[in-house]
Amino acid sequence: MKLRLLQGALMVALTLYVAPARAQEKCATDHIHQHMMDSDPHYRQYFENRDLALRADGDAARSNSTLTVPVMVWIFHNDGPENISRAQVLDAIDVLNEDVQRLNSDTSNTSNTFKPVAGMGNIEFKLATVGPTGECTDGIVRVRTALTANAPNEIKNLVPADNNKYMNIYVVKTIENTFGGNGTILGYAYFPNPGQSALNDGIVIRHDVMGRIGSATTGFGPNNGGRTLTHELGHYLGLPHTFQGGCFGNNDGFTDTPPVAASNSGCNWGNSCSNESPDLPDQGENYMDYTNGICQNMFSAQQVARMESELNGTRSQLISSQNLLETGVDDASALCAPNAYIGTPSPYVCLSDSLELFDYSWNGPVTARQWTLVNTNLDFSQDSVASIGFNAPGTYTIELNASNGQGNSLATRIINVFDTVGIVPGYYGESFEPPFPFGTQYQVQPNEMAYSWNVDTDVAKTGTQSMSVKNYFKTAGAREELLMPPLDMTQQTASTLEFSYAFARKTVDDQDELRIWVSTNCGVTWIPRMVIPAAQLATAPNEFFDEFEPSPNQWETATVNLAAYQSREHLLVKFEFTSGGGNNIYLDDLKIYETIGLEENSVEEIALYPNPVRDQLTIDLGTLEEVEIEIRDLTGRLLFTGRHSGQLEMTTSAWTAGTYFAIFRTTQGVVSRKLIKQ
């Protein structure tokens, strides 16, 4: 017989459900528990003072009436498949209720050995109709954020979740694994403990194991059957894994779940422990093992009693009559005004193409809608799917007005329209000085409009202007995009993109990131070319108390090889900055030039002096003959062109101080040299 005490490892605040086929270590419970014991004195005191004895003989008091739990589902998405439908959410809640109440269709698959101890819970989960701030809701809130990929636990801070009134389920694309184990994490949950915050509570789950339909028919979903949510619910209501403690430990504290040597996987299991009496096989069909969800079909009676006990104890505030009234779970017929939302496969389009737009409004049914191109008189559709074309490149705003009998809401979406004809770089430079074609050639795809990429007239590496993101004020996870005008690379040899940047973190923990992407199909898909994480992105010491403005020596230069795209007629380049809690970022002196093509000894023959130059420049071509020379400023403006040999003297006193490029073309290739004018 198993001992009836839960040992320390069971009281860990966080447990994980990891995809079995991808990991040797299935759960980081002990690691997380030890971390919390070491770092949280309140948790340690609670744990050490708690009465751990459980009535594990099935005699625990059972509820005579149904225990109703209000649920809020928070969907974090980035316009991908993780933005699951309401139908998929409802299906996931159905699985939860069926499994807890033992109304699941596969109860006949429970082995004859364990059918007598299978539990039937008196618990029901319902979506709330009144949200945390008193708003009308259908129990599902959608938040667009780049943090949904590799989502950290702190993603919860983006929403006003109240863990005293709701069981909060957070749906994400993928989950960050910093919990000490290996493998793909499908979900995790926090055990109940008094005074826990919303950050350290609730269930986090991948979209493709949420329910049985929609995106759950892909990825890890087919073998899951929606049971990851059931598994995490068990943790949320105090259940450890059935394999806790192995054969000779104190196990999970229940006598109707036999000891298990280690977690099972797949759909095959045997008898891993033979030291108990009676000697029973592993209960692999239990939701709290790591077997495939489609092979799970039961909680034990004592597990069910434990879950009901937690709802009548530590989580009793959830099921109180006052809370049920305040969260509106008994008013399933409540109808809310819709929250308008515009979906599109891509916010980028070329003049030759049309753009499809989808009404992805949520929170209430849409009975009427109007699509409008802002700043025009064009109302172009009233359908749930709309299409629009454009006759000039630039940045446009689409508006959707969605309504029903309860009210209406407006949503806007920035659309970037590009010319079908690209700029032929040869040499191309942009230092963002007036007149800068912002909004027509250079465009932004904003996440937070107030703190997106914008022209900065106070900071520059050269000249008087740069581009910046005022990241000091931004929400972590917000992603801001700056797009260059399209480039025609067909007349280029191998080319290089060069740019200067300046950035400071607030603290060493900041996770900001700059990525450079290219697209060869007008933004339908993007190819990453460079990633600069926060530690490498920082060009100055941390600055916590004030906005960062770089000094002249706090700039760095980066280069991106574009040689693979030299035959492309239409190449887009995108600078994508993702906020991770740091300070401001600046971008300046952007240029594209042909990569060196001369032999090394020929390159060494070319000399420019003095450099930096003031009034008189000497260009020495050595033994090279008939070299075509171009000198351009950072805007690409041509200052000098000619064909020369030997040595050339040039007066530069009339040039504006700044950075220039000298391009030398011979039959052997092309070389570019930077020139500084003081």
Annotated active-site positions, please? 232
Ramachandran bin of 432, using left for φ above 0, alpha for ψ from -120 to 50, beta for the remaining angles: left
Tokens (6 digits) for 200: 């350290």
Q: Which residues pair with 175 in a beta bridge?
A: 151
Label residues 33-68 b or e (16+ Cβ within 10 Å = b): bebbbeeeeebeebbeeeeeebebebebebbeeebb
Helix runs in 442-569, H state only: 534-537
CA distance linking residue 240 with residue 226, whole number of Å: 19
Establish how many alpha carbons lie within 13 A of residue 140's alpha carbon, considering only the half-sphere containing its beta carbon: 21
Tokens (6 digits) for 523: 């933004």
Helix runs in 237-276, H state only: none
> Taking a C-beta distance cutoff of 8 angstroms, is the pair 117, 301 a contact?
yes
Label residues 244-277 b or e (16+ Cβ within 10 Å = b): bbebeebbbbbbbbbbbbebbbeeebeebbeeee
Q: How many distinct helices (H) and strands (E) make up the chain?
A: 9, 33
DSSP string for 553-618:
TS-EEEEEE-GGGTT-S-BEEEEEEE-SS---EEEEEEEEEEPP-S-HHHHHH-EEESSSBSSEEE
Whose tokens are 């780049």? That residue is: 146
> Taking a C-beta distance cutoff of 8 angstroms, is the pair 303, 60 a contact?
no
CA distance linking residue 470 with residue 461, whole number of Å: 17
CA distance linking residue 444 with residue 452, whole number of Å: 8
CA distance linking residue 580 with residue 406, whole number of Å: 38
Q: Which residues pair with 188 in a beta bridge?
A: 16, 204
Q: Is the peptide bond before 435 cis (omega within 30 degrees of 0)?
A: yes
Ramachandran bin of 523, using left for φ above 0, alpha for ψ from -120 to 50, beta for the remaining angles: left
> Taking a C-beta distance cutoff of 8 angstroms, is the pair 619, 629 a contact?
yes
How many CB atoms within 10 Å of residue 280?
17
